[in-house]
Amino acid sequence: MKKKRPAFPSGVDTGHLRKALTDELIKHSRVIAACSRAGAGAPLPKEGRTQSMTGRKRSLSGIKPTGTPHLGNYLGMIRPALQLQKTHDAFYFIADYHALTTVRSPAEMRAQSHELVAIFGALGMDFDQHTFFRQSDIPEVTELTWLLSCVTPMGLLERAHAYKDAQAKSVELNQGVFSYPVLMAADILIYDSHEVPVGQDQKQHLEMTRDIAQRFNHIFGETFVIPEPRIEEAVATIPGVDGRKMSKSYNNELPLFSTEKELRKKVMRIVTDSKGVEEPKDPDTCNVFQIYRHFAAPEDLKEWARRYREGGVGYGEMKQAAFEAINALVGPHRDAYFELRGDEARLEDILARGAAKARRVARTVLNRARERVGFRAMENP
């Protein structure tokens, strides 16, 4: 019979090695037990396992700290997201990892991040009941991005609109731009998110997130909740002052919060054709009307459409009505915005509390994914 080889060469005192190994094993099993208590490892029930104490479903969304937040952001994402606070456990964050694909100024990164906290606060985000945080405070998300990258087909990323646009525009094309959708999938999946309120332009990203999650679940077993996009069909895409999609990157935005004077100035800059006051106009193709319609009461809108078609109304008059309607909506929140924006310590405190809450959930879900692929779970920070 073949003699069993000793684990260690004879003559070596293995006592301390054995002890070190045993200690390591005990520590490891404690970690695993802790993680299992936190929810990792067990099969995933339908509703996910990191729900709030209230048992509500989770809504999650992110917004990049780039440029001036505008009315398109408000109607497409911020307003629906804030409404979901009534029914969901809301997790909203500042997508600064994503912003780093383009932002090169640390001062701008910080200032725009603070601006977003102040905006959400002024518009009614409840920072105590819900969770508002900075993406880069949760480094777990970058690790999950790697796990997801390893099941994401290159072809899927090559088809992404944002990447193709960047390629066409020959702007700086870094690898972050290419893997942007995987980072976004990690953002969503790491919080067991059920619903994701976003504007129409994010639809493809949500589809990719679902694809990636399904693929991972198929290969490694139930791990992630498959999220649903929540897109306000009536809002679709808000045009900017030049008629293209209102966007921070096109410099065509109507800012969400500025002084009344600045807002009026911007509204007066909305581009129109050169039809005279008396000429009949088409409300469906008029830029001012298309912006106004999102802020007007239905009766007023009907009346303006009638007057447009009939003739006798000038663009200046329509712009004044648009300004008043927008101002009626944002005006009441303006003071709260400026007050919060000026209180840096409070803004940082809000972000720190949000990060602590978000990180606990992120760690639990990341551990679940780590175990599924054959890595060990790690202790919660």
Q: Is 235 in the site for ligand ADP (CB under 6 A)?
A: yes
Question: CB 120 → ligand ADP: shortest distance, Å?
Answer: 12
Q: What are phi and psi of 197, to 5 degrees?
A: -75, 120
Count CB neighbours of 19 within 10 A.
10
Q: What is the DSSP letter of 372?
A: H
Q: Is residue 248 close enough to count as binding ligand ADP by CB under 6 A?
A: yes
Q: Is 251 helix (H, G, I), strand (E, B) or coil?
A: coil
Q: Judged by CB under 6 A, which of 134, 210, 245, 294 binds ligand ADP?
A: 245
**Which residues contact residue 93 at a Cβ distance below 8 angstroms, ignoring those fewer than 6 apart?**
60, 61, 62, 63, 132, 133, 134, 135, 187, 354, 358
Please report whether residue 141 would count as binding ligand TRP according to CB under 6 A.
Answer: no
First to last CA, the chain: 51
User: Of the candidates 119, 196, 322, 326, which one interacts with ligand TRP according to CB under 6 A?
Assistant: 196
Instruction: Tell me if 63 contacts ligand ADP by CB under 6 A.
Output: yes
Alpha helices in 2-159 (DSSP H): 15-38, 71-73, 79-83, 96-99, 106-122, 140-149, 154-158
What residues from 205 to 224 belong to the interface with ligand TRP (CB under 6 A)? 205
235 binds, among ligand TRP, ligand ADP, none (CB under 5 to 8 A by kind): ligand ADP
Q: Is the torsion defined by CA of 339, 344, 349, 352 positive or negative?
A: positive
User: Does residue number 238 form part of the binding site for ligand ADP (CB under 6 A)?
Assistant: yes
Q: Say how far apart CA 61 and CA 65 lie, in whole Å.
A: 13
Residue range at the interface with ligand TRP (CB under 6 A); choices 61-69, 101-109, 168-176, 285-293: 61-69
Question: What is the spatial distance between Cα 38 and Cα 35, in angstroms, rounded to a whole number?
Answer: 5
Q: Is 119 among the residues that bind ligand TRP (CB under 6 A)? A: no
| Site mask for ligand TRP (CB under 6 A), range 151-170, x = bound | --------------------
Q: Which stretch binds ligand TRP (CB under 6 A): 24-32, 35-43, 57-65, 110-118?
A: 57-65
98 binds, among ligand ADP, ligand TRP, none (CB under 5 to 8 A by kind): ligand TRP
Helix, strand, coil fractions of the chain, as percent rounded to 5: 55, 5, 40
Interface residue with ligand ADP among 35, 40, 44, 77 (CB under 6 A) is 77
Q: Does 287 bind ligand ADP (CB under 6 A)?
A: no
What is the spatial distance between Cα 44 and Cα 90, in angstroms, rounded to a whole number?
21
The SS3 of residue 239 is strand
Q: State the residue for tokens 């525009």.
A: 169
- Closest residue to ligand TRP, based on beta-carbon distance: 62
Residue numbers 184-223 binding ligand ADP by CB under 6 A: 198-199, 201-202
- Considering beta carbons, is residue 108 or 201 the nearer one to ligand ADP? 201
Give me the least distance between CB of 41 and ligand ADP, in Å please: 34
**Of the ranges 222-230, 242-250, 289-297, 354-362, which one interacts with ligand ADP (CB under 6 A)?**
242-250
Query: 96 or 371, CB closer to ligand TRP?
Result: 96
